[in-house]
Amino acid sequence: MSVEGEAIDHNAGRTPRNGVGRSSAPLRALVIAATILGVGLFAILVYSVGINEIVANITEFGFAGFAVICGIYLARIAARATAWNLSVSGQHSLTLRDTIPAVIVGEALSSMIPLGILVSGTAKALSVRKRVPLVVGLSSVATENIFYSFVTSAFLIIGALTLLKVFTLDNAWVITINVLIAGIGAVFLVLLVMVVRQWHFASGLLDWFIRRRIGGMSFSNLRSSAQRFEDLIYGFYRKYPRRFLPICLFETTYHALGVIEVYFILMQMSSATFLNSFLLESVSRTITIVFKFVPFMIGVDEAGAHFVAETVGVGAAVGVTLAVIRKGRILFWALVGLLIMTKRGLSFAHLFSAHET
């Protein structure tokens, strides 16, 4: 359950129900095709900028530099984990000891699995199921994700506007970026109206099915859980208005640390400015959102860094190297996430079945 939710066939070996297996096949094919194209794009970019130059840049960056960016990323995880702690309502509470490992697990799944973003929220809630009821865990994750979406929308819009104002771009890119700004703005407004008007999408949809006698008792039981889930989310905004600013500040810190990470990497390879670092990070975050269905964003992240690095004048090789180094950091923390999953007794089958229900 996440605003940052699967097309994975967890009915393998069983007869698909209601055509679920068949309907997911085109999406799986799309993901596979996008991944293959991403790998091809990655190879082309590495070849075009020169593999020797990339290897030299990575060597110069070294293990010490890699350790620093892993530490920066842990600080980013801690910022989102703290925002999540503040998003838990009622008599329940979580600590950083609970939420930091859970966020690492969620981010690992989101990075590794095609469309893993759809189960990352469920993974977080299941990781803390011994501390809070599952519905409370899910609603708190959803609440934090809404704040994250607001802050991220502002971050992306500022980045896009800065790119348009400071640099001269081809007309096609100007149109693309303006469309992107309009799209992000529309999502921002929909989220705002949804919270203010307290739209009960899930329980309302289940009500529609129940009135038409679809689903029987199972839908009636599910409707009660959905109603409680939504009430917990919307109730939070009425009961805890003083938490809004702290949560937004921690979400902002998450993005600010991303800019600092980019600045640190650039500083090891070439000249670095916070403007260039901000633009590279904002474009990387946009690509993360748009192409999250590609595992590890292979190829597409490098393409975005290549474009921005050339636009701001730091060099295509530096941009591609930046993306490759950050991909190494993603891989490292994804492996840590898998270790945490194993330690907490979570399996992929468990996560997918929990998300399905």
Per-residue model confidence (pLDDT) at position 202:
66
Residue 355 pLDDT exceeds 70: no
Q: Does 8 map to a domain?
A: no
Does 70 have pLDDT greater than 90?
A: yes
Q: What is the mean pLDDT of residues 50-59?
A: 88
- Give the pLDDT confidence of 284-332 residue by residue, as tens digits: 888 878 777 777 788 888 888 888 888 888 888 899 999 999 999 999 9
Give residue for tokens 């400071």: 166
Hey, what amino acid is at 335?
L
User: Which pLDDT score, from 0 to 100, does residue 354 have?
Assistant: 55
Q: How many structural domains is the chain composed of?
A: 1
Range of the domain at 262: 20-356
Q: What angle do CA 4, 166, 173 make, to 5 degrees?
A: 60
Determine which of 54-68, 107-121, 248-262 has the lowest per-residue pLDDT on average: 107-121
Mean pLDDT of the chain: 82
The answer to whether 300 and 287 have CB atoms below 8 angstroms apart is yes
Please report whether residue 15 resides in a domain.
no
User: How confident is the model over 152-201, as pLDDT tens digits?
Assistant: 999 999 999 999 999 888 898 899 889 988 988 898 888 888 777 777 76
Looking at the whole model, is its pTM more than 0.85? Answer: no
- 343 located within any domain: yes
- The verdict on residue 294 lying in a domain is yes
Query: With 50 as the cut, is the pLDDT of residue 73 above it?
Result: yes
How much is the pLDDT for 313?
A: 84
pLDDT above 60 for 1: no
Three-state DSSP state, 53: helix
Q: Give a yes or no: residue 4 inside a domain.
A: no
Given this model, what pLDDT does residue 180 score? 87
pLDDT at residue 16 in the model? 41
For residue range 17-40, list pLDDT tens digits in order: 444 444 456 767 777 787 888 888
List pLDDT tens digits, range 93-105: 999 999 999 999 9
Domain assignment present for 14: no
Sign of CA dihedral 270, 271, 277, 280: negative
Sole residue written with tokens 């697990």 = 105
CA dihedral 8, 11, 12, 13 (to 10 degrees): 180
Segment among 195-209, 230-244, 322-336 with least mean pLDDT: 195-209
